[in-house]
């Protein structure tokens, strides 16, 4: 915004811009604490501006720092969710399978692989929610440290949920006759 255009703002817009300017560094710190890249911090500040504008009750001078903090945290989480969604949209479900299906495989092999993938997916769906989230991300190739960062869990919690979730998954698959030695029988 140029200096001449800031003079022509209506009083309400000027109050909003003053409020955003007062809390920009604060919101940026919240974004950095939640792992946003420097390029995403501008998006966070813009999202904060929009939310403050939408929630206004006539004036901005009575907005508390606590409200701005909660709004900035919510906006940062939405930026992270959009980033995840953008990353997930780029890969269709068939391409995100850990072991791509060979195009030169026989039809019966293709059927067996697809059946196995569906059975594993159903077994993962049956896990407790926190374990399911950790196991899904692990099976998609995320390292444990990144799972912890994205889900905002401690390393110990992530490790515990992942190992217990994988143990539960192995037990369910074994009960269904799926396992390392089962293919030969």
Q: What is the CATH number of the domain that holds 79?
A: 1.10.1740
Q: Where is pLDDT greater, at 108 or 131?
A: 131
The verdict on 25 and 8 lying in the same domain is yes
The verdict on 20 and 79 lying in the same domain is yes
pLDDT above 90 (res 67): no
The predicted model gives 98-103 an average pLDDT of: 51
Nearest to 45 by CA among 66, 32, 28: 28
Enter the pTM of the model: 0.42
Strand partners, 57: 59
User: Which contacts of 49-55 are long-range, i.e. CB under 8 A and separated by 24 or more positions?
Assistant: 49/16, 49/20, 51/75, 52/16, 52/19, 52/20, 53/16
Please tell me the distance from the alpha carbon of residue 41 to that of residue 18, in angstroms, as a whole number: 18
The boundaries of the domain holding residue 52 are 3-89
The predicted model gives 19-30 an average pLDDT of: 86
Tell me how crowded residue 163 is: count the other CB atoms within 10 A of its CB: 15
Q: Where is pLDDT greater, at 97 or 81?
A: 81
Please tell me the distance from the alpha carbon of residue 109 to that of residue 87, in angstroms, as a whole number: 30
Q: Where is pLDDT greater, at 118 or 181?
A: 118
The verdict on 23 and 73 lying in the same domain is yes
Cα three-residue angle 28-30-33, rounded to 5 degrees:
110
Q: Is the dihedral of CA 87, 91, 96, 99 positive or negative?
A: negative
The answer as to whether 160 is a domain residue is: yes
The answer as to whether 181 is a domain residue is: no
Please tell me the distance from the alpha carbon of residue 25 to that of residue 40, in angstroms, as a whole number: 14
HSE-up (13 A, CA, CB side) for residue 73: 6
């Amino acid at each position: 915004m140029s200096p001449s255009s800031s003079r022509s703002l209506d009083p309400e817009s000027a109050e909003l811009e003053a409020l955003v300017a007062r809390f920009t560094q604060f919101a940026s710190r919240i974004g950095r604490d939640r792992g946003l890249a420097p390029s995403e911090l501008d998006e966070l500040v813009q999202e904060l501006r929009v939310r403050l504008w939408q929630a206004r009750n006539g004036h901005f001078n009575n907005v508390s720092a606590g409200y701005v903090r909660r709004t900035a945290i919510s906006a940062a989480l939405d930026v992270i969710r959009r980033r995840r969604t953008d990353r997930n949209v780029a890969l269709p479900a068939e391409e995100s399978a850990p072991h791509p299906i060979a195009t030169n495989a026989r039809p019966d092999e293709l059927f067996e692989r697809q059946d196995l993938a569906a059975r594993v997916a159903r077994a993962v769906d049956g896990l407790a929610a926190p374990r399911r989230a950790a196991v899904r991300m692990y099976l998609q190739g995320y390292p444990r440290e990144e799972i912890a960062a994205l889900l905002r869990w401690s390393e110990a919690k992530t490790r515990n949920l992942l190992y217990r979730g994988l143990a539960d998954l192995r037990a369910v698959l074994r009960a269904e006759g799926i396992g390392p030695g089962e293919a030969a029988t």
